[in-house]
Structure formats: structure tokens, C-alpha cells
Amino acid sequence: MSEKRARVADEAVSAVDDDSPCKKHGLTIQTVKKWVTDNEKELTTTLWLTYDHLDLDHVSALKCKVCIQFEDQLTSTRNFNPTFISGSTNFRVLIKLHVWSK
């Protein structure tokens, strides 16, 4: 890694609070919005995907709007995972869990 890149990387890491969950790699709102548009046709993500803000630029959790709305009915169903309601920062895991829970 070049000296300039190393310095920029160090500055970026030190600019984030040490207690922050996004210290080195955080899920950005921009990335989530890209996932939503990229997967809209196949997964209709605008209908069910929602997220919690960690700060102005980062997301703390991805959630399913439908699962949150029907939590009482869904918690007793086969293969239900509370991650749909509590949230996950991993989009691929959230999608896989939803596919298996059908």
C-alpha cells in the first residue's frame, strides 16, 4: 500500500469514534439504497426492506417491514428468524433467511 493510501486509511479510522460499530467498515446508507434499487425487480425490496440509521451516513440494521408489521402472527411459524425484526447488517444473510422461511 502506498504511503498516501496508508495515511488516508489511518485518518479515516481515527476519525470514527472507538466505540462505534462502524469503526473500520460500516454499512453506508448509500450502499443500502443501491441494494434496494439493484434488487427491486427481482425482490421488490422497496416494499419490505427498511433500515435504522446509526448516524448520518451509516446503517445500524436492515429489517423487514412486513415481518415487523405481522410479528405476532409470524413468530410461531416454521423457520421464522427474529433477525427479520431486530435487524441485520448483512443484506445477503437477510435475503437467504427470508427465502428459507417461506
Whether the model pTM is above 0.85: no
Q: What is the pLDDT of residue 58?
A: 92
CA 45, CA 33: separation in Å to the nearest integer?
10
List CB contacts of 89: < 8 A, sequence separation 6 or more. 27, 59, 60, 61, 62
Q: Which residues of the chain have pLDDT under 70?
A: 1-25, 99-102
Q: What is the pLDDT of residue 102?
A: 59
Task: Provide the 3-class DSSP secondary structure of residue 60.
Answer: strand
Neighbour tally for 65: CB within 10 Å: 13
Q: Report which secondary-structure segment, H or E, holds 21.
A: none
Residues 22-42 have pLDDT tens digits of 445 688 999 999 988 988 888
